[in-house]
Structure formats: C-alpha cells, structure tokens
Amino acid sequence: MVTKSVVVKSSTGLHARPATLLVKKASGFKSDVTMEFNGKKANAKSLIGVLSLGVSKDSNIKLIVSGDDEALAAEEIVKLIESLDE
C-alpha cells in the first residue's frame, strides 16, 4: 500500500473537468485508488465519489493506492493532480 498527500492547486478544486481527468487516470491502473478528504473516503475511479468529496482549491488530500501497480499509479496520479491548472 502506498499513501501520499497532495495539495490540489486547481482553481476549481476537483470539480467537473479536473475530476474527470483524475478518474480516467486512476481507472487506467489495476490498483485500488482511494482518496480521503475531511474524514470522507471515495473511490478515485468513481466520478460521483470524487465529486462527493467536495475538494476545493488548496485542499490537502490523501491518496491511498494498493495493488499490483500501486507505486506507478500513486506517482502518476499525484503528478496529474499537481499539474492541474498550471
């Protein structure tokens, strides 16, 4: 299991377009990808789940990845979140 903390820099947080990009990226991996924010958890492969967290700009989220390709998945997803809105 890999756990990473990442700050969302996107001006809209993880809503609509950024959330869709995140779900597509997470869905490309075999590993289970869970996001945690404000005490709530959601499957990062579910658009409804990601949107339900209500992640806003400058929020710190925790990414929990476990499975065959967990290291690569965690690295790629963190890279994507950090690159949103650059």
Set 15, 20, 47, 80: catalytic member: 15
* Token pair for 33: 């990808």
For residue 15, indicate whether it is catalytic.
yes
Residue type, 58: D
CA atoms within 13 A on the CB side of 25: 22
Cα distance between residue 65 and residue 76, in whole Å: 11
| Residues forming the active site | 15
